[in-house]
């Protein structure tokens, strides 16, 4: 009998849509900063693979919700609005980093 090694699902890429100053003050470890006001201009370069699982966050979930909706409209397949930075850090069990 042949068996297959199962691979765990890929960890999502955390995308913080707050301003660079907000991001520097504290962000989920491993997150990238793609401010909402730069999303249209920088999205293709920052997020070239539309199949990558994405979790978006901001201060409250409002900006990340708008960004998630826009990304889905652009064809990104796995986009989740994680809400606040603290909520995403807790859910993904990642620390919050400064700088």
List pLDDT tens digits, range 4-36: 555 556 789 999 999 999 999 999 999 999 999
Q: In what order do the strands lie in the sheet with 13-16?
A: 32-33, 13-16, 54-58, 79-84
Beta carbons of 57 and 83 less than 8 angstroms apart: yes
pTM of the model: 0.90
29: left (phi over 0), alpha (psi -120 to 50) or beta: beta
Residue 57 annotated among the catalytic residues of the structure: no
The pLDDT assigned to 31 comes to 98
In order of their start, the domains of the chain are: 13-97 (3.40.250.10)
Which pLDDT score, from 0 to 100, does residue 3 have?
54
Task: Say if residues 28 and 35 touch (Cβ distance below 8 Å).
Answer: no
Tally of CB atoms within 10 A around 73: 8
Of 1 and 32, the one with more pLDDT: 32
φ, ψ for residue 6, nearest 5 deg: -85, 135
pLDDT at position 10, please?
73
Is 82 a residue whose pLDDT tops 80? yes
Give the pLDDT of residue 8. Answer: 53
Catalytic choice (14, 43, 58, 79): 58
């Amino acid at each position: 009998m042949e068996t297959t090694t199962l691979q765990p699902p890929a960890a999502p890429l955390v995308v913080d849509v707050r301003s660079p100053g907000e991001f520097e003050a504290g962000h989920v470890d491993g997150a990238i900063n793609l401010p909402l006001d730069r999303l249209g201009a920088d999205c293709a370069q920052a997020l070239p693979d539309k199949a990558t699982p994405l979790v978006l966050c901001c201060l409250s979930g409002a900006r990340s919700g708008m960004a998630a909706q826009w990304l889905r409209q652009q064809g990104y397949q796995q986009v989740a609005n994680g809400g606040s930075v603290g909520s995403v850090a807790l859910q993904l069990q990642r620390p919050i980093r400064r700088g």
